[in-house]
Structure 1
Amino acid sequence: MQNTLKQHWNPTSWKDKPIKQLPEYPNQEHLTESYNKLTKLPPLVTSWEIEALKSKLAEVSMGKSFLLQGGDCAESFDATTSPKIVNMLKVMLQMSFILIHEMGVPVHRIGRIAGQYAKPRSSDFEQVGDKKIYSYRGDLINRYEATEEARIPDPERLIEGYHKAGLTINFLRALADEGFADLRHPEQWELDFMLNNKYYAEYEAMVESITKAVRFMESIAPTRVNSLQKADFYTSHEALNLYYDAAQTREVPRKTGFFNLSAHMVWVGNRTRELEGAHVEYLRGIQNPIGIKVGTPFEVDETIRLIETLNPTHESGKIVLITRFGKEEIENGLPPLIQAVRKEGLPVVWSSDPMHGNTFATDTSLKTRNFDHILEEIKSAFAIHRAEGSYLGGVHLEMTGDNVTECVGGAKGLNESGLSTNYETFCDPRLNYEQSLELAFLIAKEWKQSYF
């Protein structure tokens, strides 16, 4: 099988396929120079890390653990700063600690970080005054400023994206390895925002329970429990700009196949999952775990063929099926998909993305999401998987550790009039720190009702 794959696939064989969501670079010579330069730069992750994540995802698919995947809608180069990276890691760690404590199973963390610099758009162009200019497609491709010059796809941004991702990964590794994740410091938990929430007493008791458990473990351990201050953390992004991903796709010594060494996991979006398209052609040849976003419109049979294309050997831990139907469509869309996957015996990690199907615009044209709608889709996903005898093993969230005001609702009751207070996103609205922690508590409750 691998020999056949090598004969018909290489990191740039996607160029022979039709491609969507990637504008043409006007300066092809500059693009080739940037691509060739990127192929020679050191990898950002290792094949050992990728294989370790795949093993952990295999455990999720068997119902033995849980996946928390979250981060920015689209990262900004300008936001590659220590406070933002620290805040993102902090909220991911604290959410995972909540889930571990309440669910009693390992939780694996994957950030939408250190590479999530490109975004699909509904239109190639937008009208600004009397001019038609390229749409903003993320910092990896062009700039946000609404001018003709800023929106021209710039190959130099491939190199800048690599360097920003490298800085981010290096800092994340240092934080996760040397004490930032230490459970001995509950004072880092900021739960004052929950004071008026009906679950506050329960939340406070949970944090105290975590603290007591840590103290007990240390009192009986002959040596310091070093694992309490370390945390595994993996990176992921949508494999959208295939020049970026292909340039970091390589063979490694003593291992079979090609690895995308720009991230531990990549995913194919709802707009780029055509079976005969360039993105599927690229993804079918790499060894990384692959996420598949599935939402309306979609065909069950086509989705099954897509899973088979990306994982023909039925390798466990290879495919994360990320459903994003919206609260109105999930009851119709999810059950037949679960049934078809089970019928074909396909090993997948089921994950719920309750964000993308629940976006709407306010009267002032701000994109937002309602916390209650997000929670409603999560509840429906758990209920449907429970009814179908399936295991919902993860959630996929657009979120930040910053105090933004982009999604309405949550414990503090943010309303539409308050969105402009600190609305930062260039693309889709994200849960803030408080909303993310609150959602973690509620996800744990739903999981326990389904599987405990």
Structure 2
Amino acid sequence: MHATTTLASLTGRTAVQQPYWPDPEAVEAVERELARLPVLTTEEETADLMAGMDLVARGSALLVQGGDCAERFDEAVPALVRQKADTLQGLAAAVRAGTGLPTVAIGRIAGQYGKPRSSPFETEDSGSGRRMPSYCGDAVNEPQFEPAARTPDPRRLLTAYTCSRLVLEELRRSWSGRPALERIYTSHELLLLPYERPLVRSGAHGAYSGSAHFGWIGERTRREDGAHIALARAVRNPVGVKLGPSASPEDAVALSRSLNPEGLPGRLTFIVRFGAKEVNRLLPPLVRAVARHGAPVVWLCDPMHGNGLKLHGQKTRLLEPMRAETASFVRALRAYGQWPAGLHLELTPDPVTECVSERDDPPRFTDYRSTCDPRLNPGQSAEMVAHFLSLL
């Protein structure tokens, strides 16, 4: 598949959750420019990750995926990248030490610059009534609530590429002396098609995505007949799909067959995010249906996205429901003889207080830095991993 393949010929499907770009011709010019640039991730690196994912799928390894809700351009500097890498490596090392199993580490890093939003517009919290386009990640616009900052700018996709390259260069330095199974691989949501499309390239074994080692399709874009699923189907990378409360057993089976028609262990990961209140009712039927009628999948628990709420006007997530959902996840997978492969977490190496405990009265957001959703700090991340290990 040539890098300049158009969306229509690649997918022939409608693409949801795309920004309203004021100048479509400028978007096309950026796509042409991206198509001339080298890939960020190589086919060989992706094959190394696939070998690790094969072990995970067979129940011989575990998986930790984690990082920022939304990366920022100004964080693409070596010192900050090293901090993020060290945090994720530490969590993976804890899993290895606690289980004796190889542990694959995948960062939400080097490309997580786009965010889907529940509404294309938002109203200023101050009560002014001002309405602006939603912040959709640094690859699209800026978080400042001003018209110039919030106007989608396709040239920012090129900045996303440059920042991803800088982050990857530092990550690759961290690979020195490490076997392939102990590297940190990159991932982000395959959301912004003018960015993803031109970085699909032809390799020795078929088309692959050169934007990340692993890409996932979000809960809002996972329609089986949609453009994002078609894009994921067209590449040979390991891919994931977020499944939330609207996913039916039939949806899960259809997605597994569509995205993994060859039945390759490790090719497809279902990242489940039901919330503590719904997981016991909704997850077991999906696991049962896929185990009986679907293609092989890796099951990964995202205990964060279904457990968000607002406290005192601030977006947060409570630790107790996250732990409860993790326990329900492990229990449901065990009940149907499936492998609970690991955790998908939004986390940061910074000493933030964005997620809180029910025991905190009142909760104190002493250091809240995220431009989008609340993340776990290092202590909370380690606690979540230790909780998961205690359930195995």
Q: Considering the TM-score relative to the shorter chain, is it more than 0.5? A: yes
- 1:371 is aligned to 319
Taking structure 2 as the reference length, the TM-score comes to: 0.94
Q: Whose Rg is larger? A: 1
CA distance in 2, matches of 1:100, 1:231: 10
Aligned equivalent of 1:277, options 222, 226, 245: 226
What secondary structure, in the 3-state scheme, does the structure 2 residue paired with 1:114 have? coil
* Pair 1:259 & 2:208 matched: yes
* Pair 1:239 & 2:184 matched: no
Q: CA contact under 8 A between 2:256 and 2:290: conserved in structure 1? A: no
* Pair 1:405 & 2:353 matched: yes
Aligned equivalent of 2:383, options 438, 446, 449: 438
| Aligned-pair CA distance for 1:10 | 5.1
| Aligned-pair CA distance for 1:349 | 0.6
Aligned equivalent of 1:352, options 292, 301, 304: 301
CA distance in 1, matches of 2:230, 2:179: 41
* Pair 1:320 & 2:269 matched: yes
CA separation of 1:110 and 1:416: change in aligned 2, threshold 3 A: farther
CA separation of 1:237 and 1:316: change in aligned 2, threshold 3 A: same
* Pair 1:298 & 2:247 matched: yes
CA separation of 1:228 and 1:127: change in aligned 2, threshold 3 A: closer
* Pair 1:69 & 2:65 matched: yes
Deviation per residue, 1:339-387 (Å, 9 max, x gap)? 111112521111000000011100x211111111111111111112122
Amino acid at match of 1:152: T
Deviation per residue, 1:95-151 (Å, 9 max, x gap)? 111110111100000000000011111101123435432111101111111112211
What secondary structure, in the 3-state scheme, does the structure 2 residue paired with 1:357 have? coil
| Aligned-pair CA distance for 1:276 | 1.8
- 2:287 is aligned to 338
For residues 199-218 of structure 1, the aligned pairs below 5 Å read none
CA distance in 1, matches of 2:6, 2:240: 18
CA distance in 1, matches of 2:307, 2:6: 35
CA distance in 1, matches of 2:129, 2:288: 51
Aligned equivalent of 1:20, options 5, 12, 16: 16
CA separation of 1:132 and 1:318: change in aligned 2, threshold 3 A: same
CA separation of 1:71 and 1:285: change in aligned 2, threshold 3 A: same
Q: CA contact under 8 A between 1:39 and 1:248: conserved in structure 2? A: yes
| Aligned-pair CA distance for 1:278 | 1.4
CA distance in 1, matches of 2:118, 2:194: 21
Q: CA contact under 8 A between 2:49 and 2:181: conserved in structure 1? A: no
| Aligned-pair CA distance for 1:59 | 1.0
Amino acid at match of 2:333: H
CA separation of 1:358 and 1:130: change in aligned 2, threshold 3 A: closer
CA distance in 2, matches of 1:356, 1:142: 23
* Pair 1:309 & 2:258 matched: yes
| Aligned-pair CA distance for 1:14 | 5.2
CA distance in 1, matches of 2:306, 2:6: 32
- 1:329 is aligned to 278
* Pair 1:78 & 2:29 matched: no
* Pair 1:385 & 2:381 matched: no
Amino acid at match of 1:50: T
CA distance in 1, matches of 2:139, 2:362: 31
| Aligned-pair CA distance for 1:247 | 1.3
CA separation of 1:438 and 1:290: change in aligned 2, threshold 3 A: same
Amino acid at match of 1:367: K
Amino acid at match of 2:94: I
| Aligned-pair CA distance for 1:329 | 0.6
Amino acid at match of 2:349: G
| Aligned-pair CA distance for 1:92 | 0.8
- 2:374 is aligned to 429
- 2:102 is aligned to 106
What secondary structure, in the 3-state scheme, does the structure 1 residue paired with 2:112 have? coil
What secondary structure, in the 3-state scheme, does the structure 2 residue paired with 1:234 have? strand
CA separation of 1:58 and 1:31: change in aligned 2, threshold 3 A: same
- 1:191 is aligned to none
Amino acid at match of 1:74: A
Taking structure 1 as the reference length, the TM-score comes to: 0.82
CA separation of 1:158 and 1:321: change in aligned 2, threshold 3 A: same
Amino acid at match of 2:379: E
| Aligned-pair CA distance for 1:30 | 1.4
* Pair 1:29 & 2:25 matched: yes
Q: CA contact under 8 A between 1:91 and 1:436: conserved in structure 2? A: no
Q: Which runs of 5+ in 2 are unaligned?
A: none
Amino acid at match of 1:148: P
| Aligned-pair CA distance for 1:11 | 5.9
- 2:152 is aligned to 153
Amino acid at match of 2:313: S
Amino acid at match of 2:133: Y
Q: Alignment RMSD, CA only? A: 2.1
CA distance in 2, matches of 1:388, 1:415: 39
Amino acid at match of 1:409: S
CA distance in 2, matches of 1:152, 1:308: 39
- 1:201 is aligned to none
CA separation of 1:155 and 1:446: change in aligned 2, threshold 3 A: same
CA distance in 2, matches of 1:283, 1:272: 11
Q: CA contact under 8 A between 1:11 and 1:285: conserved in structure 2? A: no
Q: CA contact under 8 A between 1:11 and 1:249: conserved in structure 2? A: no
Identity %: 36
CA distance in 1, matches of 2:13, 2:179: 48
Deviation per residue, 1:222-248 (Å, 9 max, x gap)? xxxx65999311000000001111111
